[in-house]
Copies of this chain bind each other. A is one copy, B any other.
Amino acid sequence: MSSTIKDVAKRANVSIATVSRIVNNQTGYSEKTKKKVLEAIEELGYQPNAVARGLINRRTHTIGVLFPKLSSTFVTDLLSGIEKATHEAGSSLIVCHTESNGEKTMKYLQLLNEKRIDGIIFTSAPLIDEYYQYISKMNVPLVLLSTESYAYNVPYVKVNDRHAAYTATQYLIKQGHKDIGMISGNKDDLIAGRPRIDGFISALQDHNLPYDEQKIVTNQGFSFSDGLGSLKTLLDQSPDITAIFAASDELAMGAISAAYQLGIKVPDELSIIGYDNLSIAEMAIPPLTSVAQPLTEMGEVAANMLFEILNHDKVVKSRIMPHQIKERNSVKERK
Contact = CB atoms under 8 A, between A and B. Distances in A.
A87 to B, nearest CB: 7
Contacts of A97: 80, 83-84
A115 B84 CA distance: 18
A8 to B, nearest CB: 15
Contacts of A29: none
A274 B54 CA distance: 47
Contacts of A113: 2, 47
Nearest to A111: B92
Q: Which 10 A-B pairs have the closest CB atoms?
A: A72-B76, A50-B114, A72-B73, A51-B54, A253-B283, A50-B115, A285-B285, A92-B94, A1-B139, A83-B97
A137 interface: yes
Contact of A62 (B94, B257, B260): B94
A38 interface: no
A257 B280 contact: no
A298 to B, nearest CB: 16
Contacts of A254: 283
Contact count band on A: 35 or more
Interface string A32-62: 0000000000000101111110110000101
Nearest to A48: B114
Interface string A284-303: 11110000000000000000
Nearest to A256: B285
Interface of A: 1-2, 45, 47-52, 54-55, 60, 62, 72-73, 75-77, 79-80, 83-84, 87, 92-97, 108, 110-116, 137-139, 224, 250, 253-254, 256-257, 260, 279-280, 282-287
Nearest to A134: B45
8 contacts: A49-B114, A50-B115, A51-B51, A51-B115, A83-B96, A83-B97, A283-B283, A285-B285
A250 to B, nearest CB: 8
B55 A52 contact: yes
B224 A72 contact: no
Given A49-B114, A50-B114, A280-B283, 14 more contacts: A2-B137, A2-B138, A2-B139, A45-B137, A51-B116, A62-B94, A72-B72, A72-B279, A80-B97, A92-B111, A93-B95, A224-B279, A260-B285, A260-B286
A224 B95 contact: no
A224 B50 contact: no
Nearest to A257: B285
Nearest to A61: B115
Contacts of A62: 94, 115
Nearest to A139: B1
A114 B46 CA distance: 10
Nearest to A90: B111
Contacts of A77: 72
A110 B50 CA distance: 11
A51 to B, nearest CB: 5
